[in-house]
C-alpha cells in the first residue's frame, strides 16, 4: 500500500542515520547538518496496489519528491512490468515528477515514446545499449533530464566519460528486475567512489540508489 511504501522509505533513512552512512558519504558537503534536506524520496510505483494506483499515488504526493517508475521488458531483466500506456494513464492523475527507470534492451528505440507519455527524468542502463552517450544526448535534446544506471557488478568507472551527459547516476544496490532483494553491501563503496568522481569533475550530478535493505 502507499503507507507501506512510505514506511519502507523512512525505514531506509532511519537505518542510514543510525549507521551514520549518509553523514559519511556527504561529509565533504558544505552542510552536513542539512544532509537529510539533500535527500530526495522517490518511492517505486511497483510497491503500490495496482487496483488502486491513482489513489495510492495521491496518498504519497506530499511525502515524496519523485515517483519512481520501473519499466521492465523481460529481456534486459527477467521480469515484465508495464509500459507507455500505464504511464500515460497515471500522468493524468498527478503532477509529480516522474522518475522513469528503463530496465529494457536498446532503450534508444523508445525515448520519444516515454517523453510523450509524461516522463520527466529518463534513466537508462549502461549495460542495455551499445550507444549510451547517444541515448543520453537524445533524452536531453527532448527537454528531459537524463540518468544513467549501472548494475551491482558493473565497475563504476565506466560512467566517468559519460558524466557530463548525466543529470543523475543510479547505482543499483540489488540486481535489477525484482523487488524484495537484500542490499548488497559492497555497492556502498561504488557510491563513495562515484561521489569522489563527481567532486573531482566539479559536477553537481545527483546520485540515486535503488535497492533493498
Reported as a single tens digit per residue, the pLDDT across 83-133 is 999 999 999 999 999 999 999 999 999 999 999 999 999 999 999 999 999
pLDDT band at 7 (very low <50, low <70, confident <90, very high): very low
Burial 40-62 (b: 16+ CB within 10 A, else e): ebbbbbbbbeeeebeebbebbee
Does pLDDT of 70 surpass 80?
Answer: yes
> Which of 49, 55, 86, 54 has the alpha carbon at shortest distance from 70?
86
Does pLDDT of 45 surpass 50?
Answer: yes
Check if 49 is active-site: no
In angstroms, the CA 209 to CA 62 distance is 21
Given the residues 24, 28, 70, 73, the one annotated as active site:
70
What percentage of the chain exceeds 70 in pLDDT?
81
Does pLDDT of 76 surpass 90?
Answer: yes
- What is the pTM for the complete model shown? 0.82
Check if 4 is active-site: no
* pLDDT at residue number 178: 74
Extract the C-alpha cell encoding 206: 545527483
Given the residues 73, 99, 167, 210, the one annotated as active site:
210
Amino acid at each position: 500500500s502507499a503507507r507501506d511504501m512510505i514506511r519502507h522509505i523512512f525505514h531506509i533513512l532511519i537505518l542510514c542515520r543510525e549507521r551514520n552512512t549518509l553523514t559519511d558519504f556527504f561529509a565533504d558537503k558544505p552542510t552536513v547538518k542539512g544532509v537529510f534536506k539533500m535527500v530526495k524520496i522517490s518511492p517505486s510505483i511497483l510497491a503500490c496496489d495496482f487496483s488502486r494506483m491513482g489513489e495510492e499515488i495521491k496518498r504519497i504526493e506530499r511525502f515524496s519528491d519523485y515517483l519512481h517508475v520501473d519499466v521492465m521488458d523481460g529481456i534486459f531483466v527477467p521480469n515484465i512490468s508495464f509500459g507507455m500506456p500505464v504511464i500515460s494513464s497515471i500522468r493524468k492523475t498527478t503532477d509529480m515528477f516522474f522518475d522513469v527507470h528503463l530496465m529494457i534492451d536498446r532503450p534508444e528505440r523508445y525515448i520519444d515514446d516515454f517523453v510523450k507519455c509524461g516522463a520527466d527524468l529518463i534513466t537508462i542502463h549502461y549495460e542495455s545499449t551499445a550507444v549510451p552517450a547517444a541515448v543520453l544526448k537524445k533524452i536531453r535534446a527532448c527537454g528531459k533530464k537524463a540518468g544513467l544506471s549501472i548494475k551491482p557488478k558493473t565497475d563504476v568507472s565506466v560512467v566517468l566519460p559519460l558524466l557530463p551527459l548525466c543529470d543523475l547516476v543510479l547505482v543499483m544496490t540489488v540486481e535489477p528486475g525484482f523487488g524484495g532483494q537484500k542490499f548488497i553491501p559492497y555497492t556502498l563503496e561504488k557510491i563513495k567512489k562515484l561521489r569522489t568522481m563527481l567532486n573531482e569533475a566539479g559536477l553537481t550530478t545527483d546520485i540515486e540508489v535503488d535497492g533493498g535493505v
